[in-house]
Structure 1
């Protein structure tokens, strides 16, 4: 009746279900305040935290989770006082569905407005960067780029300079990786930094070499870059 859909997320990939991660963080913060020094009693406070979370109005959608799912907000402790209340909690099924659809439409509009506000704030801190073929860049290796067992916290994360061999689009570039780098050769622009060949880059070149004894190969690439820009 209410066109409910079941959407699945990818296993072991929490980024695909960001709302669940937000709820977990909110519940964790709430439980931390409820248990105080009695940390082991968190399971006794879980129902209170869950009810409080579902009862509170969300800033982005403008409704509480109870309203979004059930159309009505359940009565809290103060609502159970012996005060005459002739209002009905539930009416006809058609009224329930109609009211729920109106709430979902308002939630969709409120989410779009909230997203635009967040985008405006984020764009103020975002810089536009594009590279061209034959440019040399530093590439930042994130943890997901390493094979199981290869990642180490003390390994170099900023590798380069490496050459851009293809501009797939303004956000993705294909690089000419050294043979020792075992990962996909396509990188997002946020993980790339332009190599300028100044003194600070030379310091990073020595500090970010993956293994001892491989500085010569990296320096050859840097020299090639300088030769290209000389003419």
Structure 2
């Protein structure tokens, strides 16, 4: 990992800043899957104590981005085919429930935020940011569903979904425009269905999107891709 990918943290929010930087480095691929996180090295690069790095590692492990081996060494999680299959299946369940509830609960302010996110996706040249905007779009729908337990389940899934999507987008980094167009188009269709109040159409589109993710998964493995 290049030291240039990390910067000195702000003293007033050490733990949050360490978590944010490490999370960003993992999602961007600056810290690769399977790579170990050495506390002493990271503490030196970030200008913080080893305890701050350790605390951040435990938080990222809870999110499913890191895993500890039998010796207590933290590594960036390598998602298996089974991991990804479960992530995609769980996302479908959450998406279908969320969009159906959102048809009667979404506010004008939330609609405006969703429209803004679609616009940002269309203009964003960086694939990692397209991934983050994609997740942010679904965040808004989950908030629009106004169901705290559904939102809590999504928040448990989100970091691992980000990890997989970011990796998948890097595999397809030659098709940035296609990724943007497809993401923006599918989100626009889903927003229009929510606004129409058509619960059946919302379910159809949510399942279609999940099936598209499954197709990408199968294609990646068919073309010799990694377990993403």
TM-score by length of 1: 0.21
Give the structure with the larger helix fraction: 2
Give the structure with the larger strand fraction: 1
Give the structure, 1 or 2, with the largest relative contact order (CA under 8 Å, sep 6 or more): 2
Larger Rg: 1
